[in-house]
Amino acid sequence: MEEHQSVGSWRELGRHMGTVLVLAGGVLVGAVNIYLTASLLPTAVAEIGGERLYAGNTTVFLTAQVVATMLVGRTLSRRGNIGSYLLGFGLFAVGSVVCASSPTMPVLLVGRGVQGLGAGLLTGLGFALVYSALPRRLWVRGSALISAMFGLGNFVGPALGGLFAQFGSWRLAFAVLAAASAVMAASVPRALPKGGRTAAGAVPVPLVSLLLVIGAVGAVSVAGALSGEAVTAVFIALALALVAAFVVAEKRGRVRVLPRPTYQAGSALRWLYLTIVLLAVGVAVETFLPLFGQRLGGLPPAAAGFFGAALSLGWSASQIVSSSAHRQRTVRRLRVAGPGLLGAGLAVLALLQRRDAPLPLVLAWLPVLLLAGAGIGLAMPHLSVAAMAGAPDKEEGEKAAAAIATVLTMSTAFGAAVAGLLVNLGGPSTLSSARCLLLGFAALCASGTLTALRADRLAQRAQVREAKAEAGQTAGQSR
C-alpha cells in the first residue's frame, strides 16, 4: 500500500493567517528589495555619485544577508519568536531609512549592509518558524508559500524599481520599504506565538564558519563584478576553496551552522541541501534575460523586463499547485523531476536564441521560461520539508529549517558570479553569450536530478533500517 504524507489544506493554513502573513511578508520585503535596488541604483548614482562603489551594493547586501541567516538560531534562543522578528523588521527599516537619506554612496552602502542583516534574519526566521510555529501537516503549505515569496519578489521588485526610477524617486522607494517593514513589525506581537527562547542560554556563534562564509561570498561577489575571465575564475576557485574549508570546519567543529546529520555517513540531508542549491542557482539567468530580449528579440525595455521575471512567475505559481501532492511516490518524483525540468527549459531556451529573432520565436520564450521556473516550484517545497524532517530533534530541526535560507542566499551569490563568467566567456557576441549562459546553467541545474535521486535512495534506506529496528523491538517485547 502506498504511503501518504499528511498535507493540510490552504483553508487550514488560513487559520494561522497572522503567523503566515508575518513569515511570508518578512521574506517578501527582502526579495523585493534585491531587485528593486538594482533598478534604482543608476538613478541614485546619477544624484550622489560613487560609481566606483556600484558593485559593492550587491556584495555588502548579500554578505550581510548570509551572515544573518547563520545567526538565526542564536537570535531565537536569546530573543524568542516575537523579539527576533521585531529585530529583523527593525534592522530592515533602519537600513532602508539610511538608504533613503544617504548623501553619498558610502552611506548608502552602510544602509545596504543593515538592510541585508534584517533581510537575512527575516528569511531565516521564516523557515525556522514554519518548523516550530505550524503543525507538521502544514509544513509543505507553509514552505511553499514562503518560498513563493522569493519568486514573487523577483517579479515585483524590478517593476516597482523601474516605476520609482522613471520618476527619479529612488529615495521614496526606500522610504516605502521602511514604512512597509514598520507596519509588519506592528503586527508581530499579535500574530506570532510567544516562545522560542531557550532556557539553557544563547546558542554559541559559529565564528570560524561565519568567517569562511563571509570570505566565500565576498570572493564570489567580486568574481561576478570582474570582466577578465582568468581573474574571475581565480576568485571563483578561491570561493570554492573557502566553501570546502567551511565544510571541513563544520564537520570537525562543535558549533555548526548546518544540522549535525548533514555530516553523518548515510545521511540524505547533504544531498537535499545540494539539490536546493542547484535549483535556486538557476534564477541567476534572469539578470541577463532582459538584455537578450532587447538585443536579440528587439523587445522594448518594459517587455524585456517581463520576460526576465517569467522564470520567477513560473516558480511562484507552480509551488501553490505542487504543495497539494501527498503521495510519497509523487513527492519523490517531483523532487527529482524539478531540476530536470528547469535544466531542459533552459536548454530549449538556448536553442531558441537567434539574431534579429522574429516576434513569434521571441514569444515562444515565454512558455519555456514559465515551464523552467515551474521546475523550481514543483520541487522546492518538498525539498524544504524533507530537510526539516531530516533532523533528529527539535533543536536540530530548527537549525535545518533556518539553514535553508543560508543555502538559498549563498546560491544567489554564487549564481550571479557564474552567470557573469559564462556571459563573458561567450562574448563579445550577444548570441554566443546567451547560448553559453543558458546551456551552462542547463547542465548545472539538471545535475540536481542526480543529487535528488541520491537523497531519495539514502532516505529510503534509512526508512528500511528504522522499520527493521522497530520490528525487532516489537518481536523482543512479544517474547
Beta bridge partner(s), residue 4: 327
Residue 477 in any domain: the answer is no
Report yes or no: 25 and 93 within 8 Å, Cβ to Cβ: no
Q: How confident is the model at residue 8 (pLDDT cuts 50, 70, 90)?
A: low
The CB-side HSE value for 293 (13 A sphere, CA atoms) comes to 23
Q: Which of 216-225, 426-435, 439-448 has the lowest mean pLDDT?
A: 216-225
Dist CA 344 CA 445 (whole Å): 9
Domain identity same for 307 and 423: yes
Domain identity same for 187 and 211: no
Dist CA 400 CA 67 (whole Å): 16
27 CA to centre of own chain: 10
The pLDDT value given to residue 350: 94
Domain identity same for 371 and 444: yes
* % of the chain beyond a pLDDT of 70: 91
Q: How confident is the model at residue 1 (pLDDT cuts 50, 70, 90)?
A: very low
Whose grid coordinates read 542557482? 281
Q: Read off the C-alpha cell for 461.
A: 534506506
Domain identity same for 324 and 407: yes
Residue 381: C-alpha distances to residues 174, 194, 276, 301, 325 (Å)? 31, 26, 10, 33, 10
CA 236, 238, 244: angle at the middle one, nearest 5? 105
Quick one: average pLDDT of 214-243? Answer: 80
Domain final residue pick, 215, 230, 255 = 255
pLDDT in tens, 340-356: 999 999 999 999 999 88
Q: Helices marked H in 71-104 — which ranges? A: 72-100
Domain identity same for 115 and 177: yes
Domain final residue pick, 197, 225, 243 = 197
Q: Read off the C-alpha cell for 95.
A: 537600513
Report yes or no: 133 and 19 within 8 Å, Cβ to Cβ: yes
Long-range CB contacts (within 8 A, 24+) of 346-350: 346/282, 346/285, 346/372, 346/438, 346/439, 346/441, 346/442, 346/445, 347/438, 347/439, 347/442, 347/446, 349/438, 350/434, 350/435, 350/438, 350/439, 350/442
Residue 302 in any domain: the answer is yes
Domain identity same for 99 and 246: no
Residue 454 in any domain: the answer is yes
Residue 7 in any domain: the answer is no
Domain final residue pick, 147, 172, 197 = 197
Q: Helices marked H in 323-364 — which ranges? A: 328-351, 359-363
Dist CA 389 CA 60 (whole Å): 33
DSSP 327: B
Residue 3 in any domain: the answer is no
Domain CATH for 153: 1.20.1250.20
Domain identity same for 223 and 346: no
Q: Is the pLDDT of residue 377 over 70?
A: yes
| Residue 311 CB contacts under 8 Å (≥ 6 apart), including other chains | 154, 282, 283, 285, 286, 289, 369, 370, 372, 373, 376
Domain total of the chain: 3
Closest residue by Cα to residue 149 from 260, 42, 19, 28: 28
Q: Read off the C-alpha cell for 265.
A: 555517513
Q: Which of 3-12, 154-163, 447-456 has the lowest mean pLDDT?
A: 3-12
Quick one: average pLDDT of 422-437? Answer: 87
Q: Read off the C-alpha cell for 204.
A: 554559541
Report yes or no: 62 and 116 within 8 Å, Cβ to Cβ: yes
Which residues constitute the domain of residue 378? 264-471
pLDDT in tens, 163-199: 777 777 889 989 999 999 999 999 898 888 776 555 4
Residue 423 in any domain: the answer is yes
Quick one: average pLDDT of 190-212? Answer: 71
Domain identity same for 341 and 419: yes
Dist CA 224 CA 203 (whole Å): 34
Dist CA 230 CA 234 (whole Å): 6
What average pLDDT does the structure give for the chain?
A: 83
Quick one: average pLDDT of 315-329? Answer: 83
Residue 478 in any domain: the answer is no
The pLDDT value given to residue 265: 78
pTM: 0.83
Beta bridge partner(s), residue 327: 4
- Amino acid (1-letter code) at residue 153: G
Q: Read off the C-alpha cell for 41.
A: 541604483
Closest residue by Cα to residue 273 from 253, 287, 256, 288: 256
Domain identity same for 218 and 191: no
DSSP three-state, residue 4: strand
Report yes or no: 424 and 311 within 8 Å, Cβ to Cβ: no
pLDDT in tens, 144-160: 888 788 778 877 877 77
Q: 53-88 as b/e, with b when 16 or more CB fall inside 10 Å?
A: beebbbbbbbbbbbbbbbbbbbbbbbbbbbbbbbbb
Domain identity same for 337 and 460: yes
pLDDT top residue among 38 and 61: 61
Residue 5 in any domain: the answer is no
pLDDT in tens, 328-339: 888 889 999 999
Q: Read off the C-alpha cell for 161.
A: 524599481
Domain identity same for 300 and 436: yes
The CB-side HSE value for 102 (13 A sphere, CA atoms) comes to 28
Closest residue by Cα to residue 143 from 344, 284, 331: 331
Domain identity same for 101 and 152: yes
Q: Read off the C-alpha cell for 196.
A: 522560542
pLDDT in tens, 358-374: 889 988 999 999 999 99
Other C-beta atoms lying within 10 Å of the C-beta of residue 476: 8
Q: Which of 267-276, 279-288, 418-427 has the lowest mean pLDDT?
A: 418-427
Quick one: average pLDDT of 251-270? Answer: 82
